[in-house]
Amino acid sequence: MGPILHLLTYVCMIVFVVAVVHKFNEYNKMPMHLRWELYPVAHEGKKASYGGSYFEEVDWWEKERTVDMGTEMKQMSQEILFLAAVKEHNPKLWLRTFPFHFGMYSLIGFLMLLIAGALLGVAGVDMSGGGFGTVVGTLTAIAGFAGAVLGAIGALGLIARRLFDEDLKDFTKPSDIFNLVFLLSVFLLMAATGASDPYFTGLREYVQSIITFNINYVPSNPAAVGAIALASLVVAYIPLTHMAHFVVKYFTYHNIRWDDRPNVPGKDPMGDQIAEVLQYEITWAASHINPNGTKKTWAEAATENPEELKESK
């Protein structure tokens, strides 16, 4: 059983890394997106508080542009950890999706603490002997229980909303329900593991066996074995589905929503990117874009005479 369980975990870890790197590279290679340039842009620092930008500076093109990464990270943290936009625009959904996501984040922290505890164990630190080992063990227990309980509550709430909310029924696919039930199973098994092993000693020792390649170790708690197997599968499964939207979010914020770099001729490679994109052929059939159905590029559409376009209709 031990070698099979370890093989499953190793394979799933590799699948996760490969899938995330592949997704990131695929998005990174895509053509330049039409930038929103919606203000306030977080990295404008103090100007962001009232929706200002570096464009309001006199002779801004002659001045060195500064980017405040502190305010950008602050806004990103609010969005990632607390789902600020969802709370503002859809409070009913936030009540269900916040505990679900925060439970996931807690379990990510839980995993980091398990790794820290495993490394301390490899170093010979007694996790129950007081001091730093005990602190890590206590934090592990808190993060594990919090993640399992919050995640389960959120998953149940989201399942109920997708099944019974008329506004969501038409947008709910069987895969959406499967994903939530799959994750709910992990949360419940994690809670069951903690109920019989409050400090998650079995899971920490399993992580230690992963680090030291002790493939014969198997936790004595059946719930822990089930949690390890399902959690490993979830790790591999998430980046293969739309649930890996954390990759897309990076590009949405940094390359679309907040990308306000100036296009200075001869000084920025963006000009070459724009020139390339403008040569793409228009495939839209909308009459206001392509009234005669003739092939033309975006450069031609952007420079044509509106009066001539009216006459051709």
Domains of the chain, CATH where assigned: 2-8+86-241 (1.20.950.20), 279-312 (no CATH)
Which pLDDT value is given to residue 311? 60
**Using DSSP, how many helices (H) and how many strands (E) does the chain show?**
13, 0
CB atoms within 10 A of CB 8: 15
| 278 in Cβ contact with 270 (< 8 Å) | no
pLDDT tens for the chain, 313 residues long, are: 889 999 999 999 999 999 999 999 998 888 888 777 677 888 888 888 888 888 888 988 888 888 888 888 888 888 888 999 899 999 999 999 999 999 999 999 999 999 999 999 999 888 777 788 889 999 999 999 999 999 999 999 999 999 998 888 888 999 999 999 999 999 999 999 999 999 999 999 999 999 999 999 999 999 999 999 999 999 999 999 988 888 888 888 887 888 888 877 777 778 888 888 889 988 876 766 666 666 788 888 788 776 665 665 5
The whole-model pTM stands at: 0.85
CA torsion 203→205→210→211, rounded to 10°? 130
| 187 in Cβ contact with 151 (< 8 Å) | yes
150 Cβ contact partners less than 8 Å away, ≥ 6 residues apart: 99, 100, 102, 103, 106
